[in-house]
Structure 1
Amino acid sequence: MPAAGALYRRALLGALPGLGGGRRSAGVPAVELAVAGIAVDRTHLADYDRVCGFRLTDRLPATFPHVMGFPLALRLMTAPEFPIPLTGVVHVGNRITVHRPVTADETLDFRAYAENLRPHDRGRQVDVVLVGSVDGTEVWRGVSTYLGREGKRGGGGRREQAGRPTTPAGSARWRVDPRVGTDYARVSGDHNPIHTSRLGARLFGFPRPIAHGMWSKARCLAALENRLPDAYTVEVAFKLPVPLPSTVSFGLLPDGGFALHDSRGRPHLAGLVR
């Protein structure tokens, strides 16, 4: 796997004037990246489970292959021909399909590619697809949708409110402490400074660091762990960011979905398992 630290340095240097931050491509890169033979580090898995609230088992949480293959997706997103610069990108949605349970004694092959670049009223969106296979058979697929904001910058990350879900009765309240940003960065390899640094967050319009969207999704799935079948798709839309620290409410929706809300009932995340 590529080294994530070097990729982040490349992205930050590319954002500086005169060092590669010019006009971006009008299309997605015509390339697919692949790495074979990625084994599960059981210590890493246990650490991830603890940070996200999963039970310690040999079965991989649905979100863990995303972490395993994230450096490959990051390599794709930091390529000069990628249409949206990594700095300032907003993760607005994620869909994961688990075809069957994957266990810690299995070795995965990953491939990553981008597709479906499309206009958005605040810029452009693109899907980054990460596929995990075992012995040539796809067992896991993740699709992350990213928004590249163009024009007005900053603004504290307020997201679209269209399709705002009904506020559920909170079945659980979670205190999200400041360490969530750095702890999840450590186990995920996603060291975006908006999650780990007050200064880094302020540079992008947030008054304080915010939780990773994929931590929020993982934490919700940990709460649903006993309800999940062996094969399913879980899709989430990331709404308002979760500031660190904060208290959030998790609840189930009448249509079988789930949501994460702040103390005033505003949605941080809306999801559905099918």
Structure 2
Amino acid sequence: MNVAGEHPTAQQAGQSAESHPADVGRRDVGSAESVRAGRSWWDANADEYQAEHGDFLGDARFVWGPEGLDEEQAGLLGEIAGKSVLEIGSGAGQCARSLLARGARPVALDLSYRQLQHSRRIDAAHGVHVPVVQADAAALPFADGAFDLAFTAYGALAFSPDGGAIMREVHRVLKPGGRWVFSLPHPIRWAFPDDPGEEGLTATHSYFDTTPYVEQDEDGRATYVEHHRTLGMRVREVAAAGFRIVDLVEPEWPEDLAQVWGGWSPTRGRRIPGTAIFVCDRD
């Protein structure tokens, strides 16, 4: 699971003080610039991210978001034993490793080479092996109908300039009857400042403005980019790719969870949704 979250995301996902961007704001970003920034940012910050959030994520735990909704209890993927499963935006492969332990045949894909190195490190520590692939989720290097199931837990979609391309690629590599489940920051959160306290409960930005959030260096080059789509836009991406939505899950914040993760916190999570999980079938 790769959770950066929302503006000012990079600092909150574990970026060191020395690597803070020269400028932050919103502007249009080309696809190549966005992908390049995403790969570079996650490569540079993977170590700190895993160190900071590794205890919550575990080595072989499958959670759909900061609320800690566990797939083993939620069962959103359905039956997984013996199934070929593609994890997109896998980070260090914690979710894929969890499925491996339950009898699935997972492959973990991520844009960041350094994140995949962490996956190999954890594999070695546990004596297991999850195959990893470095690639852009909008251009999956797999044959048509290669997988039974596909999912992403906070990976890829929020960082991609073309969510529709990801949907189409996932549809292509899934077998008929396959399932695609993806979680991402709930779109409504785009309207609120990324503050875990009371300040984060007052809308300050238009929900309908989809201009990307960008951090850039002193030369104006994007170093981190996050993309927003409204709920309706995501539904249209799913439908246009040929999927049928069978559920939309908005996890409530658990009473016993005190963790603060960037803008996610009990204060906000008990009042506004932090995560949206789309469950989609390929007919």
What is the TM-score when the length of structure 1 is the normalising length?
0.29
More strand per residue: 1
Higher RCO (CA < 8 A, seq sep 6+): 2
More helix per residue: 2
What is the TM-score when the length of structure 2 is the normalising length?
0.28
